[in-house]
């Protein structure tokens, strides 16, 4: 990390100066060039400027990466944007042979599977956060928090592998028939149940986004000042009333942020979903029916896409995914910041 | 609580009963959902250990994949390939990530540019990995007309940067200002203060952050699908398609062959063991460092 600075100064001057100012050190142990440069005290201006420049280049590169991804996706999807325009997002035909592309089935699959996953994960995540912060004895808090965070460390492809061999049979043989029997009248659980499909994908997504929602909502709840809790308890509130009035109410914006963050994660999740959703570009009312998402159609078809228009249509799907996740994440981050930075001590 | 009107003793008793019932209900719900959440975790890890350990053998670590229909074979080339891609990604991603984190913590505090970059990093963190793969494809693979390990490394490096940036910034923020002021007060230039005082004090946390970013991308499959692409044979050439463990697991998991399913489980166990071991090792190492540097 120090090399860029040291190259710029003449080394002879440096070693002379070191010898002049620090003869004792020299006598004990001859310092290397790098070390003597590091120990020289008056090399400020040039090195400072260079270092600042290097750091700001690194920082700006993050900005550049986003711009680069955006521009590269826009340029490469031009063909499809010109050919289909806005109709691309409302048309439901996906026919590589005749060159007719529409993304509606994928948008449907992505939105439905993500929303279902969020609906399943949010109540659980909030309950676990409340348990860990307000109910759980201290000695148990660390291990359980560690375990739930371990869920986040498992790679997507391993979730997919587990889902194919464990979750799919369970959904097919145990959960599916029960849902069909008791909730069949809604029409949401009609048709044949192969185990792979929208519902299974949502369940695996819910498991995957749970740690995101849980850990961030916990941070947000932790940011609620302790005297808010004490005030509620002092007024005679039960623990639940205290949680509801002091914790949840003060942290609500941040909790919404954490939920949206989880949604953002679910929208872009690829591998596990691809492995269990069935990959069939169809809009069906039944949750048992196979579907496909924006991310999984890319994963499945991108490396086999023949023809410029096909490729460009897939890249336009990627562009849409990029823009949607950026907006969703942007909103979520702003909401989380609103709570964890500053505005926490709002009156109830 | 709202406004409390005057109540009879009876209605007050009822309400207190109701309140304590609600309290118990929520407590039970919270405990129950924690148990429910731990079930899939235990199920996944347990089944992985059971299936993986029974499928693992020496050939897995020493052989390349066998042709379809033949027994045996391993994923030696995929393990090494993953190492190559991850090494390249770390080489590219870690310096940039740390540099950006240093800028945010040491120069960008309270400035508009700092805020914008911090926000961009957070947002980039949430961009789906498959989009990164697509960008790397369009930038590198499409230009070169062939898949390459290099493209895979770049895609993963881009994914590492925002995580490392944010943890580096957070870790540097925990370094007390007095320490920096002491260094600056001795006439040490700012850049040296940053390197030898701030970064050094925060180094255990920064190393942990890098390791977490590493662990996160180590299991990524989606960005490698059309960059590194996979390879059935040995390859060390950065300019050629290369095998990677997560890719191989994916291909084997969706295949119709039992023998390949067995190898997928073994691969999954090895992958997760590699991730867990590296994270744990670094945590131990970082803790020791914290003790040494923390006086």
DSSP B88-152: HHHHHHHHHHHHHHHIIIII-TT-HHHHHHHHHHHHHHTS-HHHHHHHHIIIIIHHHTS--HHHH
CA A96 from chain centre, in angstroms, equals 31
Residue of chain B with shortest Cα separation from A204? B40
Q: Chain A residues with CB inside 8 Å of B127's CB? A: 69, 268, 322, 325-326, 329
Q: Which residue would you say has higher pLDDT here, A172 or A7? A: A172
Report whether A191 contacts A284 (CB < 8 A): yes
What tens digit of pLDDT does each residue of A25-53 get? 445 556 666 666 665 555 567 888 889 99
Q: What is the DSSP string of B151-202?
A: HHHHHHHHHHHHHHHHHHHHHHHTS-HHHHHHHHHTT--HHHIIIIIIIHHH
| Range list of β-strands (E), B14-68 | none
pTM (predicted TM-score): 0.85
> Exposed, middle or buried, A27 (CB in 10 Å: 0-12/13-18/19+)?
exposed
Q: Where are the domains of chain B?
A: 62-293
Encoded tokens for A172: 């097919």
Average pLDDT over residues A238-263: 91
Q: Chain A residues with CB inside 8 Å of B1's CB? A: 235, 237, 241, 245
State the SS3 of A11-52. Answer: HHHHHHHHHHHCHHHHHHCCCCHHHHHHHCCCCHHHHHHHHH
ipTM: 0.87
Locate tokens 């299974």: which residue?
Answer: A200
Question: Confidence class of residue A20 from pLDDT cuts 50, 70 and 90?
Answer: very low
Beta-carbon count within 10 A of B71 CB: 8
What class does CATH assign to B62-293?
Answer: mainly alpha
Q: Chain A residues with CB inside 8 Å of B82's CB? A: none
Q: Chain A residues with CB inside 8 Å of B28's CB? A: none
What tens digit of pLDDT does each residue of B222-280 get? 999 988 888 888 888 888 889 999 999 999 999 888 888 999 999 999 999 988 888 77
Predicted local distance difference test score (pLDDT) of residue B62: 86
Predicted local distance difference test score (pLDDT) of residue A160: 94
Does the distance separating the beta carbons of B130 and A298 come in below 8 Å? yes
Which residue among B37, B97, B268 places its CB closest to the CB of A210?
A: B37
Encoded tokens for B99: 């540099």
d(CA B182, CA B161): 31
Q: Which residue would you say has higher pLDDT here, B285 or A178? A: A178
Report whether A214 contacts A127 (CB < 8 A): no
What tens digit of pLDDT does each residue of A300-345 get? 998 888 888 999 999 999 999 999 999 999 998 888 887 776 543 3
Q: Chain A residues with CB inside 8 Å of B137's CB? A: 302
CA B123 from chain centre, in angstroms, equals 16
> Exposed, middle or buried, A84 (CB in 10 Å: 0-12/13-18/19+)?
buried
Average pLDDT over residues B167-180: 90
Beta-carbon count within 10 A of A212 CB: 23
Residue A234 sits at the chain B interface (C-beta within 8 Å): no
Residue of chain A with shortest Cα separation from B260? A161
Average pLDDT over residues A206-219: 92
CA B212 from chain centre, in angstroms, equals 5
Average pLDDT over residues A124-152: 88
Predicted local distance difference test score (pLDDT) of residue A35: 65
Residues A85-345, CATH architecture: Orthogonal Bundle (1.10)
**Is B238 strand, coil or helix?**
coil
Locate tokens 């159609």: which residue?
Answer: A297
Beta-carbon count within 10 A of A188 CB: 15
Measured in angstroms, the CA of A192 and the nearest CA of chain B are apart by 21
What tens digit of pLDDT does each residue of B191-232 get? 889 998 999 988 888 888 898 899 889 999 999 998 888 888
Predicted local distance difference test score (pLDDT) of residue A273: 94
What tens digit of pLDDT does each residue of B23-43 get? 999 999 999 999 998 888 888
Q: Where are the domains of chain A?
A: 3-76, 85-345
Which residue among B106, B120, B191 places its CB closest to the CB of A62?
A: B120
Q: Which residues lie across from A291 on neighbouring strands?
A: A278
Share of chain A above pLDDT 90, in %: 49
Predicted local distance difference test score (pLDDT) of residue B7: 59
Encoded tokens for A276: 């269990």
Encoded tokens for A261: 């963050």
């Amino acid at each position: 990390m120090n090399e860029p600075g040291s190259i710029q100064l003449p080394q002879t001057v440096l070693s002379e100066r070191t010898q002049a100012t620090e003869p004792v050190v020299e006598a004990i142990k001859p310092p290397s060039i790098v070390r003597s440069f590091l120990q020289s005290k008056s090399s400020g201006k040039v090195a400072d400027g260079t270092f600042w420049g290097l750091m700001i280049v690194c920082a700006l590169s993050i900005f550049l990466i986003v711009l680069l991804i955006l521009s590269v996706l826009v340029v490469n999807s031009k063909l499809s944007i010109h050919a289909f325009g806005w109709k691309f997002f409302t048309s439901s035909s996906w026919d590589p042979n005749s060159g007719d592309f529409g993304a509606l089935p994928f948008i449907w699959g992505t939105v439905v599977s993500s929303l279902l996953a969020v609906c399943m994960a949010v109540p659980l995540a909030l309950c676990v956060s409340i348990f860990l912060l307000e109910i759980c004895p201290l000695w148990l808090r660390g291990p359980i928090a560690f375990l739930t965070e371990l869920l986040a460390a498992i790679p997507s492809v391993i979730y997919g592998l587990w889902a194919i061999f464990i979750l799919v049979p369970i959904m097919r043989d145990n959960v599916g028939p029960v849902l069909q029997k008791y909730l069949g009248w809604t029409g949401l659980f009609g048709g044949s149940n192969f185990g792979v499909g929208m519902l299974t994908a949502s369940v695996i997504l819910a498991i995957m986004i749970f740690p995101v929602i849980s850990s961030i909502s916990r941070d947000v709840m932790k940011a609620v000042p302790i005297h808010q809790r004490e005030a509620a308890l002092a007024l005679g509130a039960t623990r639940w009333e205290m949680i509801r009035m002091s914790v949840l109410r003060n942290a609500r914006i941040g909790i919404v942020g954490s939920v949206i963050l989880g949604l953002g994660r679910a929208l872009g999740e690829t591998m596990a979903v691809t492995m269990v959703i069935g990959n069939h570009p169809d809009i069906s009312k039944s949750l048992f029916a196979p579907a496909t998402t924006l991310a999984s159609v890319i994963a499945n078809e991108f490396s086999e896409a023949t023809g410029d228009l096909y490729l460009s249509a897939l890249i336009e799907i990627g562009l849409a995914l990029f823009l949607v996740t950026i907006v969703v994440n942007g909103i979520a981050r702003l909401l989380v910041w609103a709570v964890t930075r500053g505005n926490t001590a709002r009156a109830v | 609580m709202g406004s409390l009107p005057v109540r009879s003793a009876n209605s007050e008793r009822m309400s207190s009963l109701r309140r304590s019932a609600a309290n118990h209900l929520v407590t039970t719900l919270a405990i129950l959902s924690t148990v429910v959440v731990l079930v899939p975790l235990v199920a996944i890890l347990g089944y992985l250990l059971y299936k993986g350990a029974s499928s693992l053998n020496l050939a897995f670590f020493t052989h390349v994949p066998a042709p379809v229909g033949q027994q045996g074979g391993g994923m030696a080339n995929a393990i090494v390939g993953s190492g190559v891609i991850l090494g390249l990604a770390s080489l590219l991603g870690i310096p940039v990530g740390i540099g950006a984190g240093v800028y945010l913590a040491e120069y960008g505090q309270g400035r508009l540019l700092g805020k914008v970059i911090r926000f961009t990093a957070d947002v980039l963190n949430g961009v789906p990995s498959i989009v990164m793969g697509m960008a790397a494809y369009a930038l590198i693979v499409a230009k070169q007309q062939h898949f390459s390990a290099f493209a895979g490394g770049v895609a993963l490096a881009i994914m590492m940067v925002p995580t490392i940036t944010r943890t580096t910034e957070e870790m540097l923020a925990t370094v007390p200002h007095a320490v920096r002021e002491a260094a600056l007060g001795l006439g040490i230039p700012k850049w040296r203060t940053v390197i030898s005082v701030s970064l050094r004090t925060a180094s255990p946390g920064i190393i942990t952050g890098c390791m977490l970013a590493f662990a996160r991308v180590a299991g990524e499959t989606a960005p490698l699908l059309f960059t590194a692409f996979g390879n059935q044979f040995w390859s060390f050439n950065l300019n050629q398609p290369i095998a990677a463990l997560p890719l191989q697991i994916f291909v084997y998991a969706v295949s119709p062959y039992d023998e390949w399913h067995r190898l997928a489980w073994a691969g999954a166990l090895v992958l997760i063991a590699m991730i867990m071991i590296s994270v744990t090792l670094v945590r131990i190492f970082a803790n020791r460092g914290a003790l040494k540097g923390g006086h």
